[in-house]
Structure 1
Amino acid sequence: MYADVQMFMGKLQQLINCNDNELINNQSILCERPQFHLLYEELGSMIQTLFNHEDQDLHNFEEMKKLKKRFKAAAEEAEYIVDIFLSAVHCRNNRYSPISNVFQPYLHLEVVMRSIDSIKMEFMTMRMDNMKMDASQRTDRLQMQSSGTSRSRNSIGSNKVKEEMVVGFDRDAEIIRDKLAEDGKHLDVVSIVGMGGIGKSTLANKVFTDPFVVYHFHIRGWVTVSQTYDKRDLLIQVLSSIDDGLELEEATNSQLHQILHRSLYFAWHAKLHGLIHHLQHLTEEESWKLLCEKVFKGDECPKWLIKPGKQITKNCHGLPLSVVVMAGVLAKEPRHKDVWLKISYSVHSYMASDKKGCLETIALSYHHLPLHLRDCFLYLGGFPEDYKIHSPWLLWVWMAEGFIQEDGNQSLEEIAKGYLVDLVDRNLVIVQKRYLSGDIRRCKVHDLVRQLSVEKGKEERFFLKIEPPSIGLCDIIRKQINKLRNQNKVITTSKRRRVVTNQEIDIMSLSHPPTPSIRSLLCYPKKTTLTDNITEFIHFFSLRRVLNLEKFFRSFALLRVLHLDKSKLIGFPPGLGLLVHLRHLEIWLQSFPQSICNLWNLQTLFVSTSSSSMVLPSNISNLVNLRHLTCNADFYLPSIEKPMKLEVTTKVVLGDGVDNFQKCFPRIKRLTSTLYSGEENDFEVLHYLQVLMLIGPGYSRRNHIRFPATLKELTLVRCGLLWSDMSIIQSLPNLEILILKDNCFEGTLWETGEEPFQQLKFLCLEEFNIKKWESSSINFPCLKELQEQDDVGNYELEIIIDGRKMPSCVPKCED
């Protein structure tokens, strides 16, 4: 919920402390440093106060939610004011800018600071009221809550579980039961994980009430822990479930701890790491059985209803709660074929719009998401149905949007990967394809989960989603904006900052009349491209029409994400250099202009070109936040003013004025480099490098290559190395993936010798010129997969391991 606030605070830190960037260190900004510093301290204090407090006795939960929303709105307003100020300063200082007066360079933070003070005072008042509460009254209140909650959860809740039809869990229950009861010195811990509504509680109850489990365990307890809970209530629930004869209402918290400790002392013998059981969706047969049991209560389904009924269960995608919801609908309808056919045709849209049914149940997954994952999940609602999401792109955009919280020494990309994996583990995202490293390459979202994301996104005012319009697009946007303005009397910029559409829209219409500044414009047209619209977009930023540019710039000045790779540009439009808040830019260029280095907030920059190489300007190091720089051609770097914080770059060629990669990119983690004859190739000094691709000219080379011990993945293409150099690669202690392509070594015989690849798990041989490969089993102690592919097909690779000829594995190898 406050990851974007953290990113804003990072920007404030740069404005306060960055003394070596001329784009930041101008007089207008320096004069405002005291205000930036005060705002930074206030935001940090409020984050500690509202989000990191551990006062479990604070019972004003709804009031706290309101305060957090108000704080987020105030922080967004502050960021809006600061960003408008920075745009104004940049426009006035930019020699190419004819629109210096579109914004005024004033920093008016008084209203925001008063709002933050008001939130702080209300929070302190709540705490004081809570502390003043009489101890006995508080105990009575908590006891009433505990006893009431315990009774409702243990009686009503348990009965509800018992009433449910348990279908398709027999094998799951057997696995868990056997794991819990297997003989051994230590007891087992089993975690059941899966999407909300998939039946975790039902399965847990099936195991809990299993006769064998009842017989095997002399102490059993059932407790439900919600997202917000009271410690005392939880203790009473556990103890009451174990022994309902205990008198607990008068016990102190310390006494409750002691009773629980005595009751569960056998838990000292539990294993630290247990089984994680991933609950799968129902099969179509299991779904059909569950539907019939719910609708017909043991009677047989009429033959004329079997076909439409099975189509309905198929559309439920194996989610038990979806099946149960549709069964409830069918049970109330006449058992006529036409009725069921009609429902089968509209089951998806019906379930998506039934807020009291399936979506509300699936929403359990959303409500149990940690705060830092919610924006990431809501972002998925912007994609069309069945959209194949390129995972790295998704991570980059999440970072640009400010969803990723900084955490220790991990890079933002690694943290973002963890967020995506977390959503996958929660069955909210489906993995379609992986890289050789195991990272997610492509993913998608289940239709029902996507619909949940869309509904929640609308509730949270997360984006403005433009559906097929029945009236003019301008009228739609105008009405939405007016509605937002009317709902915000104190804070004026709490608005949908993202515009999402699956339609072929006119981008220019978004700026007439000028709308509140748009942070993201996400377009996913189904068939046509946005080339014409992007051309018009570029036309305005080429500064040919100054009067219209003023109106246009006001709407798009705060853009963070921009894709312009659909339009081939001869030159870089000077007006784009005014978009100083861009964090993610994809663009087609014939040459790399110096003005692009004014975009000091850029984190990711992807350049496409028809040229074979592109010269980087020496002021490229002004991009102090740049982490990813890639191109489909070689980047030539003749000189550089200072080291950069790049973590990923492709095909960089160092000029005569640059000593080595370490001085340019000391933090580089992924690097693609072109090899040339007569060069020293020392990558050993790159202490963070994990992924390296070397592309050679295709002929014999005699240069020595040194690799860092941190290397995990190495790809060699047309390098012309000697097989004797392989011993250097074999000695790398952390190498897990080795990809050898297109005659990267000279000679037709590869003898691996006696030295092992210590950690190598994946080996790919593609378009190889060797005919014989002699190896030993000691060479690959950790190898899990070998792929060999020959597109030419003019030879057969002979593999000999420990003197025995082995069959060759020939699946397609992918990058």
Structure 2
Amino acid sequence: MHTPDPFVVPREFSDENTDQSTMAEGVVALLIAKLGFALAKEAATFGASLLCKEASALKGLFGEIREAKEELESMQAYLQGAERFKDTDETTGIYVNKVRGFSFEIEDVVDEFTYKLEDTHGGFAAKMKKRVKHIKAWRRLTIKLQDIKGRLQSADRRKVRYDMKGVEGEGLKSGHSESAGHSLNLAREEDLVGIKENKDKLMHWLVGDLEEQGSKSATVWGMGGVGKTTLVDHVYKAVKMDFAKCAWITVSSSYHVEDLLKQIASQLGIPIANANENRSLVEVIHNHLKGSNYLVILDDVWNVDVWFKIRNAFPTESTGRFVITTRMQEVALLATKTCTIKLEPLERDYAWQLFCNEAFWNNENKTCPEELEDLGKMFLDKCGGLPIAIACVGRLLSCRDPTYYQWESVYKELESQLSNNVILDVNIVLKVSLENLPTHLKNCFLHCTIFPEDYLFGRKQVIRHWIAAGFIKETGSKTLEEVAEGYLNELVNRSLLQVAARNLRGRVRRFRMHDIIRVLALAKSEEESFCQAYNGSRDFSAKNTRRLSMQGTNMEQLTPLLCAPSLRSLHVFQSHMRIDFLEAFLKPLSLLSTLDLQGVQIKRLPKMVFNLFNLRFLGLRDTQIEYLPKEIGRLQNLEVLDAFNTMLASVPVEIAALRKLKYLYVVTIPAGDNERVLAYDGIQMPKGIGNLTDLLALQHVEASSQVLSQLGCLTNLRTFGISKVRSGHCADLCGAITKMVNLVRVGIIALDQREVLQLEALCLPPTISKVDIVAQLDKRFLTQFVSSSSKLVNLTDLTLCWSKLYEDSFGCLLGLHGLVTLHLCKAYDGKGLHFHATSLPKLKLLGIWDAPHLSRVTIEQGAMQNIDELLLRDCPELKDLPDGIEHLRTLDYLKLEDISEELTGKLQQNEESKECDEDWMKISHVRWVDVL
């Protein structure tokens, strides 16, 4: 339920918020982009005044970078095809691994070169000294690139099939191998559990009205191994006798239309010889099916194009029924009307039943011995309700003695067995999902393996990481954030990430990765040197890995493993760490680009951090960091500084020199002040903040005349929060916000609840979606705000605190017809609330806290016709339920807390006899009622 704490602006505003064969190509693609960026500096470099020797050295280095880029571009096309076969061809596998290693070495050279080229700090003498020193560096880096090129050419000569001839031949043979196949998913009749409801539904769609002519399509979708093919196969066997002609076609992601049509013709009993130059297969199939009723199953469809390319083969004047199984949501939308089934992992009881059926298939009663039940449930937790995983683990256990010792040993080995092909069915089925990721999603998906098991990661959290890692590029008119969110949604639609929570607008807020998917993805991530997760439970070496995720273990255990020179990202998921150990760990990691210490209880950063010239992401959220030293100005590549909920009171003036910053979160949360409406404060910002023109998010700054005079320069901001605003700041603040033409979310917090803010001059852009204002408001503001609402087409969330609203001013808000959530926190001082018939048609959540005089609420029929949640708290004068609450037929959750003793007592006293109580009858349609 969406239930923000009272007296707190809802925390949403705080911004909390593959397979081995897929990844080398992704590494190369990223490197090509980085090389292009380096080469783009060539003209500007030689346009400047250079020392003769420096110019000569740079010319040679740029030449080597250009050659490396051209070589990698040629190689990228090869990798797209070749990597698919390196598991079966040792030579190809060795070469692909070499390419990845060379790419990492080239990236190290380019990053050092870019940093030194951009290092122009200091006076004239200091700059000249650096340039002389850099001459040696340019020559050293040139020699290093030449060495890498030589070794790459040697590897090339050793490779037998560089020209793709052999690969192409194998590619044609392997077209069907991508699908797990029909047979792998079939289950014995007695082992089919938890499918009755979906089976009945699907059978009704297919044979419920066979007299009705025309085509009808049903789709069954979900993640790999969830039981799509098993369900459809069961229904297919039950109904195929009702059809004159039937066909079951398994579609691979690399299908050819001609081959697909030949399979369909063959299964329908059509001689392919009937098709010739004059009569295509489409025409032959179409004529054969005329006047008959037929059923066609298209299993494991990856692309909507499949349907559009073959649909003309099926006559619409006949009775045709189609079932499509898929892992892709966009394919599932091909269904007729509502004929779509999304399969979810099995509920616990069904999962246990399937587990016992498989583990004890040879026992008459198929029950688990009592002494093994706890271990059995631990196995179920690992499988996460995935039928194919449960069945495979059950079969594995059925081959072991049913003793605690034997089962415990299997449990300890389970992760390695899942990722090393021992449990073949699981690996084959889920491997396909990873293999078929397009290039732009490959790195993004594997990056999610940095999070621990069962970790809920937020949309904004992962988007910031992707952007800082360089995985996201602007596309057309879309911003980086919009592109990244599209990638997240695509991974969800491909059933590779699971949605854990959505906001009331339907937007995903939290994700998780299914345990089995995570095990396989981690194994591939480690094979690719993309990421390793260390929790202290196994042997470990970070020698070649690019990303390291420390999960719930003491980092001091890693002392013998400090040799990790290639490491680029360090993510720490634990709370305690000694500063001296962190300093020692970071010392050799000169090229580190991400350091995420979220939640680590440290009060200062080791000095070594400020030598990390390549650092792009510095995560300090929920730490106890008390200050940032002036040395932070050295981090010239920094794009994300996340210091949300730290102990910072200010930031040094050197922060204004970080011109590449995109996200700056510097929010403190004061403790122990229960009377405050807002739970966080802003940070004092230095002179020069207006230089940070690349900023997309700035949250929260403390208002001052100096800061306000510069905010208007930050025209790219999408998220902005400011606190301790005084009445005298309003004109400058409104002027600055008016220039923020891309703003999506804004928060304005007054110095205290006595401060009246005149914000009538506030002009918000059409892009605005969320507005939080914590202040007494001049009545003219709401009138102006609502009158301009026709331009605010995207405004969906409004929070007002301390606003001193009364009946007339509240009535203005009812004209904001696009609102989805409305929170009034210590904001309403009137006696009555009246919702007229057309008010707030899209509202899903209304929360009213601390309305001391509110005694009546009236809701006309037709008002708030989409409301899901209604929260009323700290309303001591409210003696009756809202009049007309029975009209809110969509209301799912009603919470009444700290209302009048009279109403509380009446509802609690009559809770036992709801059916005959007038008040309870009014809210009998509400599924969940809390009276506290």
* CA shift digits 1:487-514 (9 cap, x unpaired): xxxxxxx6555364532123993786x5
Counterpart check, 1:279 vs 2:336: no
Q: Is the 8 Å Cα contact of residues 292 and 301 (structure 1) preserved in structure 2?
A: no
Q: Is the 8 Å Cα contact of residues 741 and 765 (structure 1) preserved in structure 2?
A: yes
Partner of 1:579: 612
Partner of 1:773: 833
Report the 3-state secondary structure (helix = DSSP H, G, I; strand = E; otherwise coil) of the residue aligned with 1:731: coil
Partner of 1:319: 386
Quote the offset at 1:517 in angstroms: 3.4
Q: Quick one: distance in 1 between partners of 2:285 and 2:714?
A: 56
Q: Quick one: distance in 1 between partners of 2:374 and 2:33?
A: 54
Partner of 2:369: 305
* CA shift digits 1:245-280 (9 cap, x unpaired): 4449x9789944654566653658699565442102
Letter in 2 for 1:581: N
Q: Quick one: distance in 1 between partners of 2:507 and 2:285?
A: 43
Q: Quick one: distance in 1 between partners of 2:788 and 2:241?
A: 57
1:712 to 762, 765, 769: 769
Partner of 2:223: 195
Report the 3-state secondary structure (helix = DSSP H, G, I; strand = E; otherwise coil) of the residue aligned with 1:209: helix
* CA shift digits 1:418-440 (9 cap, x unpaired): 34334444554444444455444
1:15 to 35, 38, 41: 38
Q: 1:745-784 to 2 correspondence within 5 Å?
A: 745-747=804-806, 749-752=808-811, 756-771=815-830, 772-783=832-843
Q: CA 1:501–1:710 in 2, change beyond 3 Å: closer, same or farther?
A: closer
Counterpart check, 1:676 vs 2:730: no
* CA shift digits 1:544-599 (9 cap, x unpaired): xxxxxxx9644344343243874334xx8765443121111134766666643442
* CA shift digits 1:747-786 (9 cap, x unpaired): 4654435974342222233333233322323232222x12
Quote the offset at 1:361 in angstroms: 0.6
Partner of 1:742: 801
Report the 3-state secondary structure (helix = DSSP H, G, I; strand = E; otherwise coil) of the residue aligned with 2:777: coil
Counterpart check, 1:237 vs 2:237: no
Q: 1:525-536 to 2 correspondence within 5 Å?
A: 525=574, 529-530=576-577, 532=578, 534-536=579-581
Report the 3-state secondary structure (helix = DSSP H, G, I; strand = E; otherwise coil) of the residue aligned with 1:568: coil
Q: Quick one: distance in 2 between partners of 1:509 and 1:157?
A: 45
Partner of 2:643: 607
Partner of 1:703: 759
Q: Quick one: distance in 2 between partners of 1:744 and 1:359?
A: 62
Q: CA 1:436–1:119 in 2, change beyond 3 Å: closer, same or farther?
A: farther
Counterpart check, 1:805 vs 2:833: no
Q: CA 1:769–1:239 in 2, change beyond 3 Å: closer, same or farther?
A: same
Q: Is the 8 Å Cα contact of residues 4 and 401 (structure 1) preserved in structure 2?
A: no
Quote the offset at 1:728 in angstroms: 3.8
Q: CA 1:196–1:598 in 2, change beyond 3 Å: closer, same or farther?
A: same
Report the 3-state secondary structure (helix = DSSP H, G, I; strand = E; otherwise coil) of the residue aligned with 2:619: strand
Partner of 2:237: 209
Counterpart check, 1:560 vs 2:583: no
1:169 to 195, 199, 205: 195
Q: Quick one: distance in 1 between partners of 2:241 and 2:792?
A: 50
Letter in 2 for 1:782: K
Report the 3-state secondary structure (helix = DSSP H, G, I; strand = E; otherwise coil) of the residue aligned with 1:740: strand
Partner of 1:543: none
Quote the offset at 1:415 in angstroms: 3.4
Q: Mean alpha-carbon deviation: is it higher for 200-209 or for 455-464?
A: 455-464
Q: Quick one: distance in 2 between partners of 1:499 and 1:385?
A: 12
Partner of 1:400: 468
Q: Quick one: distance in 1 between partners of 2:341 and 2:414?
A: 28
Partner of 1:484: none
Q: CA 1:733–1:726 in 2, change beyond 3 Å: closer, same or farther?
A: closer
Q: CA 1:128–1:553 in 2, change beyond 3 Å: closer, same or farther?
A: closer
Q: Is the 8 Å Cα contact of residues 90 and 578 (structure 1) preserved in structure 2?
A: no
Q: 1:363-402 to 2 correspondence within 5 Å?
A: 364-369=429-434, 370=437, 371-402=439-470
Quote the offset at 1:708 in angstroms: 1.0
* CA shift digits 1:166-214 (9 cap, x unpaired): 3221211222343456778864433322222221111121233332x65
Quote the offset at 1:612 in angstroms: 4.4
Report the 3-state secondary structure (helix = DSSP H, G, I; strand = E; otherwise coil) of the residue aligned with 1:710: coil
Q: Is the 8 Å Cα contact of residues 294 and 327 (structure 1) preserved in structure 2?
A: yes
Q: 1:221-620 to 2 correspondence within 5 Å?
A: 221-229=247-255, 232-243=258-269, 245-247=271-273, 255-256=280-281, 259=284, 264-265=311-312, 267=314, 274=336, 275-291=339-355, 293-294=357-358, 300-301=364-365, 305=369, 308=372, 312=376, 315-316=379-380, 317-333=384-400, 339=402, 348-349=411-412, 351-355=414-418, 356=421, 358=423, 361-362=426-427, 364-369=429-434, 370=437, 371-404=439-472, 407-468=475-536, 477=541, 481=543, 495-498=545-548, 500-506=550-556, 509=559, 515-525=564-574, 529-530=576-577, 532=578, 534-538=579-583, 553-563=587-597, 566-569=601-604, 575-587=608-620, 595-607=631-643, 610=647, 612-614=649-651, 616-617=653-654, 619-620=656-657
Q: Quick one: distance in 1 between partners of 2:533 and 2:695?
A: 34
Quote the offset at 1:389 in angstroms: 3.5
Q: CA 1:143–1:67 in 2, change beyond 3 Å: closer, same or farther?
A: closer
Q: Is the 8 Å Cα contact of residues 581 and 599 (structure 1) preserved in structure 2?
A: yes
Letter in 1 for 2:639: Q
Q: 1:632-647 to 2 correspondence within 5 Å?
A: 632=668, 633-636=682-685, 638-639=687-688, 642=691, 644-647=693-696
Q: Is the 8 Å Cα contact of residues 464 and 499 (structure 1) preserved in structure 2?
A: yes
Letter in 2 for 1:516: P
Q: Mean alpha-carbon deviation: is it higher for 339-348 or for 578-587?
A: 339-348
Letter in 2 for 1:238: I
Q: CA 1:659–1:142 in 2, change beyond 3 Å: closer, same or farther?
A: closer
Letter in 2 for 1:670: T
Quote the offset at 1:162 in angstroms: 7.0
Report the 3-state secondary structure (helix = DSSP H, G, I; strand = E; otherwise coil) of the residue aligned with 2:530: coil
Q: CA 1:794–1:362 in 2, change beyond 3 Å: closer, same or farther?
A: farther
Quote the offset at 1:381 in angstroms: 4.2
Quote the offset at 1:670 in angstroms: 1.6
Quote the offset at 1:143 in angstroms: 10
Partner of 2:659: 623
So what's the TM-score if we normalise by structure 2? 0.68
Q: CA 1:619–1:388 in 2, change beyond 3 Å: closer, same or farther?
A: closer
Q: Quick one: distance in 1 between partners of 2:174 and 2:534?
A: 45
Q: CA RMSD in A?
A: 5.1
Q: Quick one: distance in 2 between partners of 1:247 and 1:635?
A: 81
Unaligned runs of 5+ in 2: 1-22, 290-310, 317-321, 323-332, 669-681, 862-881, 886-892, 898-932
